[in-house]
Amino acid sequence: MMLECAKLDREINYFVDVVQQVTSEVATQQSEAMFGLSAKVREQFTERIARLSDAELHNHQKVAAFKESIKNSFNQANQGSADNLEELDEDIAVTQSQSNFTCPLTQVEMENPVKNKKCNHHYDEKAILGLIRTRHGQKKKCRCPVVGCGNTDVKESDLILDQMLRRKIQIQKRNSNRT
């Protein structure tokens, strides 16, 4: 994903450079040259991108920074004692279980979780039904609000109440109230 991000970043920077270069060239020419501006930008951008190699993306500053942060995280984890690693594992487990209870729409702990049969994502019932109705009222499809999900048409008929998740949320609430 970082390589794709670096590739997009590089292409955006090259596109901006090409646009600036072409517009500065056309600025000194007659006004008729403005009509071919888009085609000229597209042509020069395509030529410039065709000369690029994806191998150089591994040296892109964002990819290098990402690799360095992973390396640092790994080194820090290896330096910790077994107790610290156990604490880290517990923290991760607690964080993951808590984040699973958070509605992607409201960013609040779900009260009545429903599961989407198509993509298996969970939402708070009231929040997702409100979104579906709003989008359908606008004559548009409702896209799954989970980042990266490809489900572009969430329907009420796709949703089922998730009683097991609801019980887990209630158990966690009880346990947190005790402590």
Residue 35 banded pLDDT, cuts 50, 70, 90: confident
pLDDT of residue 95: 47
Q: Which residues contact 91 (CB under 8 A, 6 or more apart)?
A: none
Query: What confidence tens digit (pLDDT) does each residue in 124-169 have?
Result: 999 999 999 999 999 999 999 988 899 999 999 999 999 888 888 8
pLDDT of residue 86: 54
pTM across the whole model: 0.45
pLDDT of residue 96: 44
With 0-12 / 13-18 / 19 or more C-beta atoms within 10 angstroms meaning exposed / middle / buried, residue 144 is buried
Q: Bridge-partner residues for 161, per DSSP?
A: 114
Domain ranges (residues) in the chain: 123-178
Percent of the chain with pLDDT over 70: 82
To the nearest 10 degrees (0 to 180), the angle between helices 2-27 and 61-79 is 160
Task: Look over the chain and give the mean of its residue pLDDT values, rounded to a whole number.
Answer: 81
Query: What confidence tens digit (pLDDT) does each residue in 95-110 have?
Result: 444 457 888 888 888 9
Query: What is the fold, at CATH topology level, of the domain defined by 123-178?
Result: Herpes Virus-1 (3.30.40)
